């Protein structure tokens, strides 16, 4: 009996060992996911938020790696530094970060620093990395030199951390050089050349890992849109213009749109720390536009729009960029010119159409009675009736009384009643 019990116990132990072995084999077969970040966007607050979200997801899944699929022209220096810090945080969490630049794509300007901060870089044929020289828009030569020197040291430290060629990396900043994939591999700036993401993942031993793809969501796209100084200036200017036009043709709709545009522009300007000079000029332009309500000839609106367009031009002043396309470039100047053109067209519309219509409405409507004289039909004590230009109106004598036959002058109109004052007889 005792012998039988021993055999049963041994058998149960063997079964448990087999089950535990199967569980461990199954767990080892389940690989941790790899986070694929679609970085085909400028380097700005939107893409910075996207990278922070990617890190949060990677940490929650204990991901095996973050892979940045990059095609960017660059962007803001401050957001580039934020993203580099996010990459360093990922490494501290034990999550390596890799950069893959697909064929004919760019890791330009701020993108080159982000790529250089990652554990490894693989590029496709026809792709480029760099140039990496920072630009302080509207800044002095001293500001430009200080920023450039800081970025040279920063690029060198990133290259040195991962054992890359610091001289070649420095040249991207110092001489504004861009390297092709073959040159970058030759100068030991990258780790390989591959024409597909799948082969790049194979190089990093991530082929069989489940993938989680991340792109900018709607909120991050909105942040990216308003983190452009030219867009912010245009939003504010067109917002003021919409409100002014709504005062000529009251609809409320244009006023609501105008207020939303102004708020979005101000929020964007705050995000990028836009030039105070530019914002001030836009506000002055708006004030000049509002004078149009008094003048009504269209010229004030045109002048205000031109002043605001000048403000848009100065909005980016002093902001450091590392980008192939910075504000006040050719496209931005076309956009600013377009705003000025819209203002001129709106001014001509007010001068030739809206203004004359408004004057006719005043001449034909009840407002035309203001300042006119009438005779009292029934005593005003203080309310009664008066006849003005052959029409009998209900009237109220303001701080006075008037008898039948006495003369009064119309001060204003409240609803369907005239507010009048008594004309003292000489």
How far are the Cα atoms of 6, 257, 341, 345, 358 from residue 248, in angstroms, in the given order?
100, 15, 20, 15, 7
Is 285 found in the same domain as 249?
Answer: yes
Is 398 found in the same domain as 318?
Answer: no
How far are the Cα atoms of 194, 242, 307, 309, 339 from residue 334, in angstroms, in the given order?
39, 21, 16, 11, 9
Query: Which of 194, 221, 248 delimits the end of a domain?
Result: 221
pLDDT at residue number 14: 58
Give the pairing type, strands 391-397 and 383-388.
antiparallel
8 A C-beta contact, residue 301 and residue 349: no
Question: How many independent structural domains does the chain possess?
Answer: 4
Q: What angle do CA 128, 132, 133 make, to 5 degrees?
A: 145
Q: Using DSSP, how many helices (H) and how many strands (E) does the chain show?
A: 15, 17
The average pLDDT across 302-311 equals 89
Query: Which of 335, 364, 393 delimits the end of a domain?
Result: 364
How many other C-beta atoms lie within 10 A of the C-beta of residue 388? 18
Binning pLDDT at 50, 70 and 90, where does residue 323 land? confident
pLDDT at residue number 360: 55
Is 162 found in the same domain as 64?
Answer: yes
Task: Scan for tokens 């729009």, then name that residue.
Answer: 305
Q: pLDDT of 367-398, one tens digit each?
A: 677 888 999 999 998 899 999 888 888 999 98
The average pLDDT across 156-167 equals 97
Is 36 found in the same domain as 25?
Answer: no
Is 253 found in the same domain as 238?
Answer: yes
Task: Scan for tokens 């009384």, then name that residue.
Answer: 401
pLDDT at 181 over 90: yes
Query: For 296-326, b where at least 16 C-beta lie within 10 A, e where not — what string?
Result: bebbbbbbbbbbbbbbbbbbbbbbbbbbbeb
The average pLDDT across 53-63 equals 96
How many other C-beta atoms lie within 10 A of the C-beta of residue 418? 25
What is the chain's mean pLDDT, rounded? 87
Is 125 found in the same domain as 1?
Answer: no
Query: Which of 221, 241, 267 delimits the end of a domain?
Result: 221
CATH number of the domain where residue 386 is located:
2.40.50.140
Is 169 found in the same domain as 269?
Answer: no
Binning pLDDT at 50, 70 and 90, where does residue 414 land? confident
- What letter does residue 33 receive in the DSSP assignment? P
Is 284 found in the same domain as 273?
Answer: yes
CATH number of the domain where residue 51 is located:
3.90.226.10
pLDDT at residue number 17: 59
What's the CA dihedral at 412, 413, 414, 420 to 10 degrees? 60
Is 255 found in the same domain as 183?
Answer: no
* Burial of residue 220 (number of CB atoms within 10 Å: 0-12, 13-18, 19+): buried
Is 215 found in the same domain as 92?
Answer: yes
Dig out the tokens for 146 from the structure. Answer: 């200080």
CA distance 331 to 85: 31
Binning pLDDT at 50, 70 and 90, where does residue 303 land? confident
Is 217 found in the same domain as 350?
Answer: no
pLDDT at residue number 118: 98
**What is the extent of the structural domain holding 262?**
228-364
Is 169 found in the same domain as 146?
Answer: yes
Question: Whose CA is closest to 110, among 132, 135, 138?
Answer: 132
């Amino acid at each position: 009996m005792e012998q039988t019990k021993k055999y049963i116990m041994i058998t149960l132990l063997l079964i448990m060992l087999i089950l535990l072995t199967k569980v461990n084999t199954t767990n080892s077969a389940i690989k941790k996911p790899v986070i694929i970040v679609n970085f085909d966007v400028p380097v700005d607050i939107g893409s910075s938020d996207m990278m922070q979200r990617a890190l949060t997801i990677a940490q929650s899944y204990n991901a095996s790696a973050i892979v940045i699929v990059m095609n960017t022209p660059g962007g803001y220096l401050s957001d580039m530094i934020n993203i580099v810090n996010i990459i360093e945080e990922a490494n501290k969490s034990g999550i390596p970060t890799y950069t893959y630049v697909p064929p004919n794509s760019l890791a330009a300007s701020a993108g080159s620093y982000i790529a250089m901060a990652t554990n490894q870089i693989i590029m496709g044929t026809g792709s480029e990395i760099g140039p990496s020289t920072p630009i302080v828009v509207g800044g002095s030569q001293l500001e430009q030199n200080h920023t450039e020197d800081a970025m040279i040291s920063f690029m060198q430290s990133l290259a040195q951390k991962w054992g890359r060629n610091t001289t070649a990396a420095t040249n991207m900043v110092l001489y504004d050089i861009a390297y092709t994939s073959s040159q970058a591999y030759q100068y030991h700036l990258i780790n390989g050349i591959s024409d597909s993401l799948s082969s790049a993942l194979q190089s990093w031993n991530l082929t069989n890992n489940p993938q989680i793809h991340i792109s900018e969501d709607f909120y991050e796209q909105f942040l990216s849109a308003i983190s452009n100084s030219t867009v912010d200036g245009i939003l504010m200017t067109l917002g003021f213009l919409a409100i002014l036009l709504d005062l000529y043709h009251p609809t409320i709709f244009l006023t609501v749109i105008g207020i939303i545009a102004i708020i979005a522009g101000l929020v964007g300007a705050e995000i990028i720390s836009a030039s105070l000079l530019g914002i001030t000029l836009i506000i002055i332009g708006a004030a000049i536009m509002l004078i149009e309500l008094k003048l009504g000839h269209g010229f004030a609106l045109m002048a205000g729009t031109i002043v605001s367009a000048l403000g848009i031009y100065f909005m980016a002043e002093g902001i450091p960029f590392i980008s192939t396309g910075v504000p006040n470039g050719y496209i931005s100047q076309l956009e600013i010119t377009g705003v000025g053109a819209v203002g001129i067209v709106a001014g001509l519309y007010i001068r030739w159409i809206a203004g004359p219509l408004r004057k006719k409405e005043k001449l034909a409507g009840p407002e035309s009675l203001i300042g006119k004289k009438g005779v009292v039909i029934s005593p005003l004590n203080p309310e009664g009736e008066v006849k003005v230009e052959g029409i009998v109106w209900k009237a109220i004598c303001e701080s006075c009384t008037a008898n039948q036959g006495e003369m009064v002058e119309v001060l204003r109109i409240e609803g369907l009643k005239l507010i009048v004052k008594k004309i003292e007889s000489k």
